[in-house]
Amino acid sequence: MLDKPQPGDIFLDRYMPNASHAAREEARQNLHNVFAVLLRIATRCANEDYEAAIRLKRSPAVESKGGPSLLP
């Protein structure tokens, strides 16, 4: 009976074809961590681009409540 495919198997099969089960699991966790960081970076960049577009339009949508406005 074949094991159910898990996330990262394509990478692991390509770059670690003869790895032990323990090494594959460690590598799978490392892949998960790398992609989590990449997702955080992409999310932050998208938010910054969105906020920059709002600032260019001089919209009050990015102003904080009760705080000073950073808009010129």
pLDDT digits (tens, 9 = 90+) for 13-72: 999 999 999 999 999 999 999 999 999 999 999 888 888 777 777 655 555 555 555 555
Q: What is the pLDDT of residue 54?
A: 74
What burial class does residue 66 get, using C-beta atoms within 10 Å of its C-beta: 0-12 exposed, 13-18 middle, 19+ buried? exposed
Report how far residue 52's alpha carbon sits from residue 22's, in angstroms, rounded to the nearest whole number: 45
Amino acid code (one letter) for 46:
A
Domain positions in the chain: 21-56
* Alpha carbon distance 33, 39 (integer Å): 10
Q: Which residues of 5-20 are buried (b: 16+ CB within 10 A; e: fewer)?
A: eeebeeebeeeeeeee
Whole-model pTM: value is 0.60
